[in-house]
Amino acid sequence: MPELGRAALVVTLGLSVYALVAGAAAARLGRRRLAYSAQNALVAAFFSTLVAAGVLLAALLRNDFSFTYVARTTSEALPTAYTISAFWGGQEGSLLLWLLMLTGFGAVAVRLNRSWARSLVVWVVPVFAAVGVFFSFLLVAVASPFATQAAPPDGAGMTPSLQNPYMLAHPPLLYVGYVGLTVPFAFAIGALLSGQLDERWLVATRRFTLFAWTALGIGQLLGAHWAYVEVGWGGYYAWDPVENAALMPWLAATAFLHSVMIQERRGMLRIWNVLLVILAFSLSLFGTFLTRSGVVNSIHSFTQSSIGPWFLAFIAVVVAFSLAVVFWRLPLLRSPTKLESPISREAAFLYNNLLLLALCLTILWGVVYPLLSEAVRGEAVVLGRSYYDFFLRIFGLPLLLLMGIGPLIAWRRASLRSLATTFRWPTAFALATGVVLLVLGAGSSVPGLVAYTFSAFVAAAIVLEFARGTRARKALGAASWPRAFSSLVARNRRRYGGYVVHAAIVLLAIGIAGSSAFDSVAEAKLARGESMEVGDYTLVYRSLDEQQVANATEVRATLGVTRGDRDLGTLEAGKNAYTIEQQVSNEVGIRSDRLTGEDLFVITEQIDPDGTIYFRVFVKPLVNLIWVAGLVFLLGSVITLWPDAREQRRLVSRASEVGVPATR
Amino acid sequence: MPVARKSSPARLVIALSVAAVLAIFLLYTSIAGGGNPSISPSELGKRTEKVQLAGLVTGPVRGDSHAAGLRFGLRDIDGDSAKTVSVLYTGSVPDLFKKGRHIVVDGRLRNGVFVAEPGSMITKCPSKYAPKSSSA
């Protein structure tokens, strides 16, 4: 069996090389049949990768420990679901997943677009193939998932914290995001190479970009929720390099999704868009590199992992090649139109882009700073949490405000007077909210208060937009209000889906502000029967129980919770001691208030033999809005992604008037 | 850069934004400093400024982190330096902390003992995705 897997990967490498060489030759020489052959090779590469993936999956399910990879990542006792998740639990398997998704995305994107954008697609194929060559080469020559050994009696197993349902969905979603960003990259480079820099590449890739971006966003929120519920340190995001690795391409892709609208409507920002796509793709490679290479684990040594240097070299090649192509095509990228006024929709989008990019690049700076300072000063300097928090406030809060302004401002040129009219109500609502919150005591954190006020502004602006649109549809003859509302959304999914996503970001902002700026924490060492207070809660430590389960000893403390005079029942928190892995894990107790979104979060820091416990308790207001935001985000993305034949036709016909920017 | 001929506000906007970002950056570094050096136990020597110390936990691990403090040793993760720094730590101890783990603590050297800031300990995941055998 391992021979089949190895052979399939060699075939994939061969097909990718062929698709690259033949595709490039066909595009250069205008050979139609050869171009088709290259496209078919790309599709075939997907199937040969699928065979390799099938072999690995079968080996995992059979617990075939003669595969080194299987022996390293699983064990006999591991439940089947986690045996499957071991596919992406190690370096080689996740590279294989990358390649599988890459060839899959490539095949689908090429098949979907080759009839209406043929002259563009012929140039896209070799770009996909080049990325495929890199990954299949790594899998064949450097990090083969099909290495074999004399089978040990049992595998090494999986770290307990990864044996968790979140790990079934979180890593693959991030990978879908990372790999999906290859599609806009390949089309952008294809467009540059072909010299056909009309808006077709945007139309061809819009859904792919949105899909990848959604997966990346949801994947990150799942990771945050996992950290919050399972890791048990009382937070959900720690600005860890691995977390930042996913956030950076997401921010770049967010910027791209916005600026793309400016190019579609006004033909502007063409160079900018191409650069953003290159940045997003490079950052997704960098993200894979960070999570995979071990640079993060031991930030001191670059050479520890076998694939690290290869990845760095590939990223360098991608960046250098892409920038060279952009520079070469610079004359063709000049915009036929220009920004007319600093107060306009276009300008608002530009500010949004600059802020997103600034945030993205400051995070990148923070991530690479230890490496850079080590190279320059011989000593790694680490930028801590305060660095990231500072820049999140500096760039994130204006970004939040712009989210309310941008969608409502007029294209081309807006007058200050019209602005005053448009924003009268949102501003009044925001100010009223701010004053009320100030009276209620939210002034304890200025950034938190500002975040709330801005959120109120954006929320009001979004509601106003929906109300205005629904009223217009009703006036145009919709039968009822709900009918008017649904036809409003259905007729312009992109716009109103976008507003729903904005609403999700507002919820996220409120949740983050509430849980980080207005949280309270208390610690105390309690013997049984003693109590402590945190916020307006009172906790009584009632009893301690121990239970033996299959692979662990579970120790649980039971606490009685009251708030004022109200009895809120009991809460359990404790620790699990895993016998085989010799590892202890905190099992936190969380009580969520459905109505207010507030969490009471209990950690048993230390359990002494005599039963006294050192407790650490948080009250996190509004934290549940973060998870609600994830659902709303998904809803908005689905609305936007939902197939809309009419819109697609319009975009296609508009884009096929080559070189004519679509203005309306 | 999104370009247009002269007289377009785009250039001005971008130039001003870049300037603003740089100004903010300078402001940040002037008030918050540039972060802490991250060093290994063998590099600590007699240095007494605030640093981030990354190393491998050596026994014996003694004491109570929520009382007088937890005491343990740290030595280099790789390399063959046998130098061990004794550490005094208070505050939350992550689940994964034990002898043989890689950890990071912030703090400074005082009278030959590295006094860590309360709650600053981070254990490196025994590699987030990789098998545990490779990190043990």
Q: Concatenate the DSSP letters of all residues of A351-407 into one string.
A: HHHHHHHHHHHHHHHHHHHHHHHHHHHSSEEE--HHHHHHHHHHHHHHHHHHHHHGG
Please indicate if any CB of chain A lies within 8 Å of the CB of B60: no
Please indicate if any CB of chain A lies within 8 Å of the CB of B17: yes
Mean of pLDDT values over A385-394: 88
Range with the poorest average pLDDT among A35-39, A110-114, A232-236, A648-652: A648-652
Structural contact between residues B110 and B88, judged by C-beta atoms closer than 8 angstroms: no
For residue A351, the chain B residues in CB contact (below 8 A) are 13, 17
Mean of pLDDT values over A372-395: 83
pLDDT score recorded for residue A401: 95
Mutate to test the interface with A, among B3, B99, B129 (most CBs of A within 10 A): B129
**CB pair distance less than 8 Å for B10 and A350:** yes
CA distance linking residue A26 with residue A47, whole number of Å: 23
User: What is the residue-wise DSSP string for A410-428?
Assistant: PSS---HHHHHHHTHHHHH
Model confidence at A658, pLDDT cuts 50, 70, 90, reads very low
pLDDT tens string A531-574: 999 988 999 999 999 998 877 889 999 999 999 889 999 999 99
Of A72, A171, A394, the CB nearest to B133: A72
Please indicate if any CB of chain A lies within 8 Å of the CB of B16: no
pLDDT score recorded for residue A661: 42
pLDDT surpasses 70 at A96: yes
pLDDT score recorded for residue B130: 36
pLDDT surpasses 90 at A163: no
Q: Is residue B96 part of a domain?
A: yes
Range with the poorest average pLDDT among A542-556, A648-662, B122-136: B122-136
Are B60 and B120 part of one and the same domain?
yes
Nearest-Cα residue of chain A relative to residue B10: A339
**CB pair distance less than 8 Å for A297 and B129:** no
Please indicate if any CB of chain B lies within 8 Å of the CB of A164: no
End-to-end alpha-carbon separation of chain B, Å? 49
**CB pair distance less than 8 Å for B129 and A605:** no
- Both tokens of residue A90? 């190690």
**CB pair distance less than 8 Å for A159 and B125:** yes
Helix ranges (DSSP H) in B7-134: 9-32, 41-44
The count of domains in chain B is: 2
Please indicate if any CB of chain B lies within 8 Å of the CB of A222: no
Query: What is the value of ipTM here, to two decimals?
Result: 0.75
Mutate to test the interface with A, among B3, B36, B44 (most CBs of A within 10 A): B3
For residue B78, the chain A residues in CB contact (below 8 A) are 298, 300-301
pTM: 0.90
Which residues lie across from A360 on neighbouring strands? Answer: none
Please indicate if any CB of chain B lies within 8 Å of the CB of A172: no
Are B50 and B112 part of one and the same domain?
yes
Q: How far is A383 from chain B (nearest CA, A)?
A: 5
CA distance linking residue B8 with residue A570, whole number of Å: 65
Q: Is residue B132 part of a domain?
A: no
Phi, psi of A553 (to 5 degrees): -105, 125
Q: Is residue B104 part of a domain?
A: yes
Whether omega for the bond prior to residue B60 falls within 30 degrees of 0, making it cis, is yes
CA distance linking residue A370 with residue A649, whole number of Å: 49
Of A301, A334, A370, the CB nearest to B38: A370
pLDDT surpasses 70 at A639: yes
Structural contact between residues A177 and A212, judged by C-beta atoms closer than 8 angstroms: yes
Of A354, A583, A605, the CB nearest to B17: A354
Q: How far is A144 from chain B (nearest CA, A)?
A: 15
Are B50 and B23 part of one and the same domain?
no
Mean of pLDDT values over B20-29: 73
pLDDT score recorded for residue B71: 92
Are B25 and B74 part of one and the same domain?
no
Q: How many inter-chain contacts (A to B, CB under 8 Å) are there? A: 147
Range with the poorest average pLDDT among A92-106, A574-588, B118-132: B118-132
Q: Is residue B134 part of a domain?
A: no
Model confidence at B34, pLDDT cuts 50, 70, 90, reads low
Model confidence at B9, pLDDT cuts 50, 70, 90, reads low
Model confidence at B39, pLDDT cuts 50, 70, 90, reads confident
Structural Rg of chain B based on CA atoms: 22
CA distance linking residue A123 with residue A295, whole number of Å: 35
Q: Which of residues 86-125 of B touch A (CB under 8 A)?
A: 92-96, 98, 102, 106, 124-125
pLDDT surpasses 60 at A300: no
Are B48 and B83 part of one and the same domain?
yes
- Which residues neighbour A239 within 8 Å (Cβ) at sequence distance 6 or greater? A366, A385, A388, A389
**CB pair distance less than 8 Å for A299 and B96:** no
Structural contact between residues A424 and A462, judged by C-beta atoms closer than 8 angstroms: no
Of B10, B65, B133, the CB nearest to A339: B10
- Which residues neighbour A315 within 8 Å (Cβ) at sequence distance 6 or greater? A282, A285, A286, A289
Q: Is residue B133 part of a domain?
A: no
Are B71 and B28 part of one and the same domain?
no
Range with the poorest average pLDDT among A280-284, A348-352, A633-637: A348-352
For residue A383, the chain B residues in CB contact (below 8 A) are 34-35
User: Which range scores top for mean pLDDT: A91-95, A187-191, A649-653, B105-109?
Assistant: A187-191
Question: What's the CATH number where B110 sits?
Answer: 2.40.50.140
Please indicate if any CB of chain B lies within 8 Å of the CB of A525: yes
H or E segment at A559? strand A552-563
Q: How high is the mean pLDDT of chain A?
A: 89
Please indicate if any CB of chain B lies within 8 Å of the CB of A383: yes
Are B14 and B51 part of one and the same domain?
no
pLDDT tens string B75-119: 887 777 778 899 999 988 887 788 888 888 889 999 889 999 888
Are B54 and B115 part of one and the same domain?
yes
Q: Is residue B57 part of a domain?
A: yes
Structural contact between residues A278 and A323, judged by C-beta atoms closer than 8 angstroms: yes
Mean of pLDDT values over A234-258: 91
Beta strand B84-89 with B113-116 is parallel
Are B53 and B117 part of one and the same domain?
yes
Helices A270-293 and A308-328: crossing angle in degrees, nearest 10, is 170
pLDDT score recorded for residue A581: 66
% of chain A at pLDDT higher than 90:
59
Please indicate if any CB of chain A lies within 8 Å of the CB of B127: yes
Q: Is residue B136 part of a domain?
A: no
Residue B82 belongs to what domain range? 38-126
Are B48 and B108 part of one and the same domain?
yes
**CB pair distance less than 8 Å for A369 and B35:** yes
Structural contact between residues A582 and A573, judged by C-beta atoms closer than 8 angstroms: no
Q: Is residue B7 part of a domain?
A: yes
Q: How far is B111 from chain A (nearest CA, A)?
A: 24
Of B13, B38, B64, the CB nearest to A381: B38
pLDDT surpasses 80 at A270: yes
Mean of pLDDT values over A604-614: 89
Identify the DSSP state of A139. Answer: I
pLDDT score recorded for residue A190: 96
Are B30 and B42 part of one and the same domain?
no
Q: How far is B93 from chain A (nearest CA, A)?
A: 7
Mutate to test the interface with A, among B96, B124, B128, B135 (most CBs of A within 10 A): B128
**CB pair distance less than 8 Å for B2 and A335:** yes
For residue B2, the chain A residues in CB contact (below 8 A) are 268-272, 335, 339, 350
Are B79 and B110 part of one and the same domain?
yes
pLDDT score recorded for residue A298: 35
Q: What is the 3-state secondary structure (H, E, C) of B70-93?
A: EEEEEECCCCCCCCEEEEEECCCC
pLDDT tens string A451-499: 999 999 999 999 999 999 999 998 888 788 999 998 899 888 889 999 9
Model confidence at A247, pLDDT cuts 50, 70, 90, reads very high
Model confidence at A165, pLDDT cuts 50, 70, 90, reads confident
pLDDT surpasses 60 at A644: yes
Model confidence at B55, pLDDT cuts 50, 70, 90, reads confident
pLDDT surpasses 90 at A289: no
Model confidence at B8, pLDDT cuts 50, 70, 90, reads low
**CB pair distance less than 8 Å for A379 and B4:** no
